[in-house]
């Protein structure tokens, strides 16, 4: 089983990972419902309207940081794999969510794009729950690419 850093350092595989992450994000946004779901969908649309290719570019730009953030959990899982990484992430929800959001929080603080920063700040309070809901899909994606 490869580490995530090994996978994303390989050009053809990196492009496949980026595509899969974008698909995961699109799927997670699409399945949101209720008032908060409407807000998330609207904000996502705003972000995508800034530049058509922004989501894949942002994913590619953040991929190494996300991998570094989640790699300690993946390394622990690889040392004694039991079940899927999706289940492992779900069982270690707080650590996984905190690691991933620390990455986006840092990036949001450093961005010069006021629209993106404002949109992120509005959505950040509900981000923990949304990221937690995406963990099984993220775990399956990592299992797929690191096998």
**Residue 120 structure tokens:** 């992120």
State the pTM of this model.
0.85
Domain containing residue 38 = 4-146
Span 15-46, pLDDT tens digits: 999 999 999 999 999 999 888 888 889 888 98
First to last CA, the chain: 5
Q: Is 42 exposed, middle or buried (0-12, 13-18, 19+ CB in 10 A)?
A: exposed
User: How far apart are alpha carbons 42 and 77 in whole angstroms?
Assistant: 36
What pLDDT score does 8 carry? 85
Q: Residue 16 has which token pair?
A: 């496949």
Number of folded domains that form the chain: 1
């Amino acid at each position: 089983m490869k580490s995530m850093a090994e996978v994303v350092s390989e050009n053809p595989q990196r492009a496949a990972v980026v595509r899969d992450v974008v698909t995961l994000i699109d799927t997670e946004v699409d399945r949101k419902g209720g008032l908060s779901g409407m807000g998330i969908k609207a904000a996502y649309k705003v972000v995508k309207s800034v530049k058509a290719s922004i989501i894949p570019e942002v994913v590619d730009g953040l991929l190494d940081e996300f991998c570094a953030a989640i790699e300690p959990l993946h390394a622990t899982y690889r040392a004694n794999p039991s079940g899927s990484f999706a289940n492992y992430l779900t069982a270690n929800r707080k650590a996984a969510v905190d690691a991933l959001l620390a990455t986006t929080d840092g990036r949001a603080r450093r961005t010069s794009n006021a629209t993106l920063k404002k949109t992120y700040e509005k959505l950040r309070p509900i981000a923990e729950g949304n990221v937690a809901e995406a963990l099984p899909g993220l775990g399956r994606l990592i299992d797929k690419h690191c096998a």
